[in-house]
Structure formats: structure tokens, C-alpha cells
Amino acid sequence: MSGSLNITAATVEPGLLVLPWNLPLDMWPDDTITALPKGISRHIVRFAQLDGYVIAIKETTDELAQSEYEMLRNLQKIDVPCVEPVAVVQGRKDEQGNPLAAALVTRHLKFSMPFRALYSTTLRPETTQRLVDSLALLLVRLHNVGFFWGDVSLSNTLFRRDAGSFAAYLVDAETGRLYDNLTPGQREHDLEIARVNIAGELMDIQAGGKLDASIDPVATSESIMASYDTLWHELNDPELLKQSELWRINKRVQRLNELGFDIEELSIKTDEDGTHVKIQPKVVDSGHHARRLLRLTGLDTEENQARRLLNDLDAYAATVSLLNLDEEVVAHLWLTRVFEPVIRAVPENLDSKLEPAEVFHQVLEHRWFMSQKQGRDVPLNEAVRDYIDNVLQYRRDEEVVINPPTGAFTASIGIHTDSIGFGTEDGPPPPRGADEPEVDWRDLV
């Protein structure tokens, strides 16, 4: 290694020192880098193994590497969904002493996928809309804490499965700025960037023949406006109530909880004659269901996964007549008698296919469709075996997608469609109806 390195790291990472920083990133040897799907980037990006996990390395300027590293650290402190910064590497030189670009090192988000790895032959309308909706939710969360992104796009986002939906994570904060509050003009500017970029990305896929013919790229990109506005106004608009309608305060809180938000502070003001009350959420934090599930069970999941698991927990309590017990006791029984047996049933060689919460969600979906098809209430343990044998083993690994195990990732990879009982991986489950079989947990108790 030629010259001296300057490494700024959030934690002690001795493994960083043995990487070939004296080589340009695009010349790193195959036995060093790991092949993972990545989005389009204006910079050279490579992946590598570091002490048991995968890191993403991006070459950029000293100033941009340092500012993005600090921005990601600040976003993590306020619980914004984003990649984890690991280090900034500066002072790189080649064997002849010529300076090389600085590098930003981030931790690869397990079970996440870039936009272009979420389809194989055709990007379906349902998947496209769910991606746009998850990006709108991420943008609302960012704007709510005063973050102006400046480069909103599907390609600058990582997506994790979230019980039939997607959870979006910011992956590129290079153009971002953090303020106390954003002006309406700054928010509208970010939305306009999102609208233009999403339309361009979808048109690019359309030109490659991989966009469903029914999808209008421009109309789809403009739908982010509607999704964003609905969420933003629900979170931030004041509401004027009559004294006789104070019950609507709880309704407002309940609506926000259903959207996955907690209200930590509520501003309530009465008018001069006391006949009307004005309420407005002041401090709103996302992850309502995820926090409740974590508190009860210790399971750290995405928001929709948490909602699904909590519904299952409530069904278990009702079916096994445990409603008179403390919530914490019921949660422990459900965790040890229902959730953990399902996850333990997955063979070790398949446990990197999906994260545990998503496996459990898909098992429940699979069981429901088996019951519908066979006209009987399929026991959960039978559904688990059938799901593993006929669905899970044919999925690609989503913990890390490596093909081949090492080597520069330069070509697109084929993503297999996978059935969980209702079609391809992009297909949404049908709406629940009264004919949905109730869960009988006695087959696991």
C-alpha cells in the first residue's frame, strides 16, 4: 500500500486496512469484491466482505465523501431509514504515488434490493405502485424531520419486503441537506425531482421492453404526489372540532396509528368562546406497530410485518382463550409456541432466502390459499412444510444476492418469480373476506 491512509470510522474496523486501497475501485481483484445487484450511480460502486458482513464502497471526492458520511450518521441518530455509514477513506495513492479518489464505505442493508432487482421479465403495475407508495412514505418521513433530499429516485433507494408491501431506505445522501424545518417550496421541489426521475426510470424500463404495457410512466410518477399529499396532510394539518366532537381527537390518533405513526405531542387550543377546539400533531414518530412488537417480543421488523404479526398474536390469544392474561405473557406464549417453531422449521440452507418476519407472513398467506383451494382448515405445521418444499426452496437468496460468489457485478441478473400461493412475487394477495379460514393455533400449542 503506497502512502498513508486517513480513515474516519464510526467503529473500530481493522479489516478496512487490508483492502487494496492502492488500486482504483474498478481494478480491485475478484477475490476481494462481492457481486451484488446495484442501482444506477454516477460513481463507481463495489461491494466487499468485511468481518462477516458486506460493505458498499463508493469512490467520490474528499469533500463529498466526508459530508455524506456525516449526513448519514445524523440521519441515523434521528431514526431515518437509511444505509449505515461505516467509514471514509482518504489519502489513497497508487503504487506510483498518484492520488486516488476518496471512498465512502457503508454497510450493505441485509435483505434489501435495488429497484432494478425487483423484476425479472416485466415490471407489473401492482409492484410499480407499491414501490412509488413506499418512496412517498420515505419522503414524508424525511421531510418531517427537515431533510431535503435533492435527488429523489427509485434508483437512489433500497427496498425491503414488508408483508406484501415494500419498506424504502435512503441509500444516497450526497445531495441532501438537513434543516430545522422545510419550506413548502423545498418540499415541492423534492417532489418535482421525484416525479421527473421516476418517470425517466420507468421510461428506461419501457424502452427495454420490461414494463407492463398497461403502465403509463408519467401517470405512475405523478401518483407519488397523491400518495405524499395524503400522508403529509394527515400528519401535519390542524383539525377544527366542535366541543361536542372531542371523540374525533382519538379518531385522529387512531388514523395515524393505522398509518404506522405515533403522536408524541398534540397541540390542543380552544377558541375564545370555547365552542371549538383546534388540534394539531406536533411530534410524530413512525414505526408504531414495529415498536409495539419489539416491546412485546423482541422482534425487530418492518412496519407492515409488525402489523401482520401483531394481528396473528391477537388471533392466537382469542383462539386459545388467553385474553384474560397480560399482553406480555400472551406475546411470550405466541413467540415460543407459534412464531419460533415456524422459523425453526426452515432448513439451515434456506434461512438466507427471506428474513424471518417475511417468512412467517408468507407462510400465513400460503396457508390461507391452501385452505381455500382444498376447502378445509389446513393446519399450520402442514402449511409450513408445503411452503418450504414448494415455494421457499425455489426463491433466490435475499440476505445477500451473490452470483457468482466473487467478481465485478457488471450485468443484470435474472430474478426468479416465486409463488406463495397467489402468483408471482409481484402479485398482491386478494382482499380478505368472511370466507377466510380462522387460524387454529391448537395444532402448534
Q: Is residue 282 part of a domain?
A: yes
Number of domains in the chain: 4
425 and 353 within one domain: yes
- Averaged over 23-37, what is the pLDDT? 84
Most confident of 212-216, 236-240, 265-269, 410-414: 212-216
CB 110 within 8 A of CB 355: yes
156 CB-near residues (< 8 Å, 6+ apart): 39, 170, 171, 172
Q: Is residue 133 scored above 60 in pLDDT?
A: yes
138 and 96 within one domain: no
332-381 confidence digits (pLDDT tens): 999 999 999 999 999 988 888 888 999 999 999 999 899 989 988 899 99
121 and 57 within one domain: no
Q: Is residue 128 scored above 60 in pLDDT?
A: yes
Predicted local confidence at residue 433, as pLDDT: 38
Predicted local confidence at residue 282, as pLDDT: 66
Q: Is residue 406 scored above 50 in pLDDT?
A: no
Of 170, 202, 236, the residue that ends a domain is 236
For 169, phi and psi rounded to 5 degrees?
Answer: -125, 135
pLDDT classification of 438: cutoffs 50, 70, 90? very low
Predicted local confidence at residue 415, as pLDDT: 32
102 and 128 within one domain: no
197 and 103 within one domain: no
172 and 119 within one domain: yes
- Window from 14-18, 145-149, 233-237, 268-272 with minimum mean pLDDT: 268-272
50 and 127 within one domain: no
pTM for the model stands at: 0.71
Instruction: Give the Cα separation of 257 and 254 in Å (integer).
Output: 5
Q: Is residue 74 part of a domain?
A: yes
Q: Is residue 238 scored above 90 in pLDDT?
A: no
Of 48, 76, 108, the residue that ends a domain is 108
Q: Is residue 255 part of a domain?
A: yes
The whole-angstrom distance between residue 184's C-alpha and the CA centroid of its chain comes to 26
Q: Is residue 295 part of a domain?
A: no
74 and 141 within one domain: no
Report the CATH number at residue 63.
3.30.200
178 and 101 within one domain: no
Q: Residue 31: which domain range?
A: 6-108
pLDDT classification of 70: cutoffs 50, 70, 90? very high
58 and 74 within one domain: yes
Each residue of 346-366: b (16+ CB within 10 Å) or e?
beeeebbbbbbbbbbbbbbbb
Q: Is residue 185 part of a domain?
A: yes
Q: Is residue 145 part of a domain?
A: yes
Predicted local confidence at residue 40, as pLDDT: 64
Q: Is residue 335 part of a domain?
A: yes
222 and 245 within one domain: no
Q: Is residue 174 part of a domain?
A: yes
